[in-house]
């Protein structure tokens, strides 16, 4: 930060420019601004890209949003014609609003004698009223908001346990009471969440929703709809100029424009802070503006961020436009970077002294000081004295926070990572059962066409998941199911068939083909107070977007001490053994990345009678604890009916009626055990497709007099460690059947759990090869088979 003390009598003059008393950005053309665009741009203003816009649809000048999600007092947009969205939902095309005109002052302000006029032109243009007499600058209060804000920042810098948002876990910025959501350091990874939250805000504004318990929301919710947010709330999301090149940012912009094009509303204001550098890599001149202008469906505003008056004016126009139209916009602020990107970054290695000096001259702090002096609010001496006083105040605060306590134990660090409250989850499942059998019984009968699933006979895995999703939708008004092909088609495997017809296009809808955006919609919806259930069509496709789970969803509670949560149940079709469908993209057996995410719940139901209760548990955990759950569904078992022989129907199962849900509850981290024969000789520990293969192998071994107990893990994270150790110790021989890979597979975790748990018996592993799954019969060469399981058990017995 440049030191104003270097100029005692006056502040350094800004860069010379006849059109601006505060100076223009270096090497950037300036001119009169209109509608947030630089009039000097040689290209004609095309209006919003990808939108039809009336010439008189000018942006308003309402007050700018001052938090991540904020309410205002602008009027509600009026619905236009009877257009519909891509999902058949009536579109909200607001009529063209009247042009907002800034009121003129009633009288010309008097001029005070002295060196400085009371009304600086830049302040008048920004609509800032200036008193006729210069007010006295109050003395700094040691407990004022500025000092407390600085204290919060400094606490983050020193990892103080008293830091208000992350509690010493990370240098993030956030305030729950101001609805400022903390973000991590992953480039642009928070932008998809912003889009998702914008979509959720509109959904809640239009149809309302019962809040998911425990979510944080703006105090001024809408009692008319039950939404936790004010009806005119908007989302504000900032990022840097280098981030516009990141795939995640591109996904967010594309999704916002895509939904706007279909007629759905996304009230999001993206704010690009453009200092021209990504650490040391320069953004090519004009590239950021050209990129942001070219985004279809996103209104472009621009201002000089080093000019406080202009930045205020244009920010107000941008926020008002988004608030009125409920449509996305981007505010492009050109600004400066003072000092290097980080402490170890010596910018003199890639920037010239002249360039650094030019940025110092455009320092927004100095520009603000020039405005205050020019408008007569203060003299330069007074501001310099205030600067010194504040400096010493901040120094004292820094010395104080250095001595504050730090996180001093593992328990303190992980306290808010992923709390597990199994009793409350069980109570939530039992309460859902009571509602389904009681006050919601009529609605349930109607939703299932008079034939609830418990009366439909034995169901497949896919049918059981479908019925459980429907029951979840009935019990959770804020629940939404979405993803590629899940609505009209009912999913590529029919798992979501009929849900849109029962619950409507606002709660079951198709998305664009982009996994990052699908998860981003879920992230935003969860923070907004909904219970999102996105679907990722294939496990291999999740790897395109896994950082949305790792870096955003799973970290939200951790980095906000529970003030914000991202409740979400991500359904993923995956694992191998799918016949007639080639390639590793549709037969992906890689789950290591999921098990590596701290706090993430990973569920793998193998049987229909496990799938429904496990899904109910995940929904309850998301609602009660804000859990992020990956519900991994074995594709090859979706429509499987038989176990031992064709036509035996042994893999089908009845759907439990609501009265049996509590008794059949499946807690997170609890396994299921099958006894075959005496069940005293060998313990097979497995999951997913391995359960069916292991039961078939156990039946063959039972004919040879070998007793097997088969343990279905059901949960890959957290592993059912107590069940693993107990069932292994019961026989003293363990065969781990892992359909994933030997390296990084689930079997490694099981064997480690056995060692840590004190198991001293024999152990052997049968696992897939370290290979992608090939097409056709070649897949059998790298995957686990029932024959390999049988042989592994015999080898174990021979020891």
d(CA 461, CA 269): 43
DSSP labels, 336-399: ---S-SSTT--GGGTS-HHHHHHHHHT-HHHHHHHHHHHTTS--HHHHHHHHHHHHHHHHHHHH
Residue in 683, 792, 668, 675 with CA at minimum distance from that of residue 730: 683
Neighbour count for residue 295 (Cβ, 10 Å) = 23
* Angstrom distances, CA of residue 697 to CA of 413, 622, 643, 689, 735: 44, 37, 11, 13, 12
Helix (H) or strand (E) holding 796: helix 786-797
* Both tokens assigned to 655: 């759907």
Catalytic residue among 119, 120, 325, 586: 586
The answer to whether 425 and 667 have CB atoms below 8 angstroms apart is yes
* Angstrom distances, CA of residue 665 to CA of 354, 432, 613, 662: 69, 12, 6, 5
- Beta strand 531-536 with 568-574 is parallel
The radius of gyration of the chain's CA atoms, rounded to the nearest angstrom, is: 30
d(CA 194, CA 266): 9
Sequence-ordered strand ranges (E) for 362-516: 479-483, 508-510
CA 256 to chain centre: 15
d(CA 790, CA 785): 9
Q: Residue 533: what are its φ and ψ, rounded to 5°?
A: -130, 80
Residues 6+ apart with CB under 8 A from 129: 105
Place of tokens 């009935």: 474
Residues 6+ apart with CB under 8 A from 143: none
d(CA 20, CA 30): 9
DSSP labels, 536-583: ES-HHHHTTSHHIIIIIITTTTGGGTTSS---EEEEEEE-S--TT--S
The answer to whether 334 and 285 have CB atoms below 8 angstroms apart is no
341 labelled catalytic:
no
The answer to whether 521 and 199 have CB atoms below 8 angstroms apart is yes
Cα-based angle 505, 507, 508 (whole degrees, multiple of 5): 65
Active-site residues: which are they?
586
């Amino acid at each position: 930060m440049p030191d104003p003390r270097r100029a005692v009598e006056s502040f350094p003059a800004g860069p010379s420019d006849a059109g601006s008393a505060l100076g223009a950005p270096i090497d950037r053309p300036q001119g009169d601004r209109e509608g947030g665009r630089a009039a000097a741009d040689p290209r004609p203003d095309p209006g919003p890209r990808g939108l039809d816009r009336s010439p008189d649809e000018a942006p308003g000048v309402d007050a700018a949003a001052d938090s991540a999600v904020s309410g205002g007092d602008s009027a509600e947009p009026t619905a236009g014609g009877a257009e519909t969205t891509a999902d058949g939902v009536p579109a909200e095309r607001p009529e063209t609003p009247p042009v907002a005109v800034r009121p003129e002052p009633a009288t010309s302000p008097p001029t005070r004698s002295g060196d400085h006029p009371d009304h600086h032109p830049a302040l008048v243009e920004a609509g800032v009223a200036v008193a006729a007499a210069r007010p006295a600058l109050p003395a700094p209060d040691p407990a004022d908001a500025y000092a407390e804000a600085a204290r919060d920042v400094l606490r983050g810098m020193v990892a103080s346990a008293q830091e208000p948002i992350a509690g010493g876990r990370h240098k993030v910025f956030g305030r729950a009471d101001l609805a400022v959501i903390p973000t991590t350091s992953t480039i642009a990874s928070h932008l998809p969440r912003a889009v998702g939250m914008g979509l959720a805000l509109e959904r809640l504004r239009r149809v309302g929703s019962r809040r998911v318990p425990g979510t944080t929301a703006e105090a001024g919710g809408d009692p008319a709809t039950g939404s936790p947010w004010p009806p005119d709330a908007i989302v504000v999301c900032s990022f840097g100029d280098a981030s516009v090149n990141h795939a995640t940012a591109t996904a967010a912009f594309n999704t916002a424009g895509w939904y706007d094009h279909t007629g759905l509303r996304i009230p999001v204001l993206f704010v690009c802070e453009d200092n021209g550098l990504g650490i040391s890599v320069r953004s090519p001149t004009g590239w950021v503006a050209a990129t942001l202008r070219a985004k279809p469906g996103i209104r472009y505003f621009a201002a000089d961020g080093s000019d406080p008056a202009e930045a205020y004016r244009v920010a107000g126009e941008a926020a008002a436009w988004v608030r009125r139209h409920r449509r996305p916009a981007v505010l492009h602020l050109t600004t400066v970077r003072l000092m290097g990107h980080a402490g170890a970054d010596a910018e003199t290695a890639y920037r010239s002294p002249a360039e650094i000096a030019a940025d110092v001259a455009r320092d927004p702090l100095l520009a603000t000081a020039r405005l205050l002096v020019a408008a007569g609010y203060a003299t330069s001496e007074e501001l310099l004295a205030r600067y010194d006083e504040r400096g010493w105040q901040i120094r004292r605060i820094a010395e104080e926070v250095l001595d504050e306590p730090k996180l001093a134990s593992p328990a303190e660090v992980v306290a808010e990572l992923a709390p597990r409250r199994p009793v409350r989850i069980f109570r939530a499942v039992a309460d859902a059962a009571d509602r389904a059998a009681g006050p919601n019984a009529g609605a349930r009968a109607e939703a299932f066409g008079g034939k609830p699933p418990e009366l439909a006979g034995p169901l497949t895995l896919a049918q059981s998941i479908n019925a459980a999703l429907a029951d979840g939708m009935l019990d959770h008004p804020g629940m939404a199911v979405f993803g590629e092909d899940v609505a009209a088609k009912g999913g590529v495997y029919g798992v979501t068939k009929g849900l849109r017809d029962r619950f409507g296009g606002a709660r079951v809808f198709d998305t664009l083909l982009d996994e990052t955006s699908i998860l981003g919609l879920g992230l935003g919806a969860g923070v907004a107070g909904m219970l999102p259930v996105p679907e990722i069509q294939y496990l291999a496709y999740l790897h395109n977007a896994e950082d949305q789970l790792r870096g955003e969803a799973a970290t939200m509670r951790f980095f906000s001490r529970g003030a914000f949560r991202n409740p979400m149940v991500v359904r993923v079709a995956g694992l191998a053994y799918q016949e007639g469908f080639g390639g590793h993209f549709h037969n992906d057996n890689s789950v290591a990345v999921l098990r590596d995410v701290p706090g993430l719940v990973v569920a793998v139901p193998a049987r229909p009678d496990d799938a429904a209760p496990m899904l109910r548990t995940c929904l309850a955990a998301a609602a009660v604890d804000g859990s992020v759950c990956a519900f991994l569904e074995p594709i090859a078992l979706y429509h499987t009916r038989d176990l031992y022989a064709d036509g035996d129907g042994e893999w089908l199962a009845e759907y439990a009626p609501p009265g049996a849900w509590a008794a059949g509850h499946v807690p997170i981290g609890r396994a299921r055990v099958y006894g075959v024969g005496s069940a005293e000789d060998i313990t097979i520990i497995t999951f997913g497709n391995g359960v069916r293969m292991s039961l078939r192998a156990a039946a063959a071994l039972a004919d040879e007099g070998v007793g097997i107990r088969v343990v279905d893990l059901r949960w890959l994270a957290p592993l059912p460690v107590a069940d693993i150790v107990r069932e292994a110790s019961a026989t003293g021989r363990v065969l781990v059947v892992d359909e994933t890979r030997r390296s990084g597979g689930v079997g490694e975790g099981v064997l480690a759990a056995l060692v840590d748990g004190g198991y001293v018996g024999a152990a052997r592993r049968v696992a897939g090869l370290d290979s992608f799954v090939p097409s056709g019969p070649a897949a059998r060469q790298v995957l686990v088979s029932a024959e390999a399981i049988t042989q592994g058990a015999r080898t174990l017995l021979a020891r």
